[in-house]
Each structure stands twice: as structure tokens, then as C-alpha cells.
Amino acid sequence: MTTDLVIDVRSVTKRFGGLLAVNNCSLSVKRGSITGLIGPNGAGKSTLFNMVAGNIVPDSGQVIFDGADVTGMKPYQLFRIGMLRTFQIAHEFSQMTALENLMMVPGDQPGEHLVSTWFRPGLVKSRETEVRKKALDVIDFLKLGHVRNELAGNLSGGQKKLLELGRTMMVDAKVVLLDEVAAGVNKSLLNDLAGNIERMNRELGYTFFVIEHDMDLIGRLCDPVIVMAQGEKIAEGPMAEIRANPQIVEAYFGTPVEVA
């Protein structure tokens, strides 16, 4: 059953020993949106993000993905049903080219099975050609053609982030979780990265859930923006409203400040 909510987090709680990291928190991500998640250090946003991504199992509550309860599912299981994640530090195959990195993404390719390589070489070749064409289309979309044959380990931090974004385009993603996408990226490439996220959302219908410390990037990309503090959701709305709310600013920065 298709719903308007791709992600629906329901009253999740997580403790680490005596530390209550997330406290009965609920939030949602609408299909077709770029939803941001912000908060001060220790707010619980990374823990919540990891519970959605399947890296941490909540002590209580539910994570609903595309109408189904996926609480406790592993990241590889979520990948198979359309939830993909990028990381603050890009996870590329450094000794493979940018193009080969993209071609590695689609799962269950015939060439992965020894029997198919022996007895169904035509099928293996056909699928490889199909995946290569898709990878080349992604590289063109992201304007990475000049580094397609470069070893991924030699790419800049920003190019690696673009490559990781491209990997999410190699499968049918229902939502992409972006973890600190601005980290380690220079301003020029960050502008390219943001532009590609906007294009993927606008032209291809991708839904994004973004955790990020760069408020300018959040302000550019995200609507709505969800604010967490002390393990709880305290606000949600457009970035202009978030910036203009003195209570939110105080919770975020620790002291009252003037907001332009």
C-alpha cells in the first residue's frame, strides 16, 4: 500500500546504559520531499538517524518504511527494499574506477554466480552492458565524465561524495538518507552536490532525509526542517520559521541570540 509518508517514526526510544539518547520521538518524511534533521550536539539526531537506517535497534517504538514495519531490519535488508544511505566519510572501492564503483551497486547480477558465467555467458554479458549504460547515464547526470576512469581512491572528497550520490541512483531508491553530505567538501563542489540533489528531487522524484550541520545547505535544500533537542523533536517547519523562533535558536545554540 502506497502512503504519502515514506518514513514514519513512531515513539522510538533508545538508551545507552544510563543515557537516554532518544526519548519517545516521532517524526515523518513525506514522499517527494527533502526533509532536514538538525539539532545541537547530543540532541539524539544521529541515534535516531541510525535507527531509521537499521544500524541501531530501538528499545521501543516503530520505524515504518513505505507502509511496512521495518523495525530491527538490517541495512542490507533495507537496501533491498529501497532505503539507501550515504555516509559522512565516503565508502568507495578505492582501487576501482569511478565507473566500476557504480557498476558494483545493483545486486544479484548474473556475473556474481559461477554457474551463470559458465553456462549463461550471454545473459551475463547482456546484464553487464545494461548496468554499464546505466552507470554512464548516472556519470553524465552528475557531470563526472572527466573522472569516470579514474581510481575512486584518487578522487577529491567532494568527487567521492558525488560518486556516493551516484551509487544511490543505480537502484530504485524510495528514499536516500544523506549523512553529513557537506563534510570535507569544498564550497565549489558542495554547490555542485547540492544542485544534483535538487535535480534528483525535482527531475527524478527522489525523496531525501538529510542530517547536516551546515545550516546554509539545510536552508537551501530542505523543507521541512525537523529540530531535535535532548532526544526529542521540538519543532518542524520551513527553515525561515526555524531561524526566526527564539526558543529553537536558544535550544540549538545554548544561549539566546538575535536571528536576522
* The predicted structure's pLDDT at residue 260: 34
Residue 209 has pLDDT above 80, yes or no: yes
How would residue 57 be classed by pLDDT, with cut points 50, 70 and 90? very high
* The predicted structure's pLDDT at residue 2: 56
User: What mean pLDDT is predicted for residues 129-136?
Assistant: 88
Q: In this structure, which amino acid lies at residue 26? A: S
Lowest mean pLDDT among 11-25, 70-84, 118-132: 118-132
Q: Cell match 557531470: residue?
A: 143
Domains of the chain from N-terminus onward: 5-91+173-184+204-253 (3.40.50.300)
Number of neighbours of residue 4 by Cβ within 10 angstroms: 10
How would residue 54 be classed by pLDDT, with cut points 50, 70 and 90? very high
Residue 10 has pLDDT above 70, yes or no: yes
Q: Is 134 exposed, middle or buried (0-12, 13-18, 19+ CB in 10 A)?
A: middle
Bridge partner residues of 137 (DSSP): none
How would residue 121 be classed by pLDDT, with cut points 50, 70 and 90? low
User: What mean pLDDT is predicted for residues 2-11?
Assistant: 90
Q: Are 42 and 48 in contact (CB under 8 A)?
A: no
User: What mean pLDDT is predicted for residues 237-258?
Assistant: 73
User: What mean pLDDT is predicted for residues 215-235?
Assistant: 93
187 or 22: which leads in pLDDT: 22
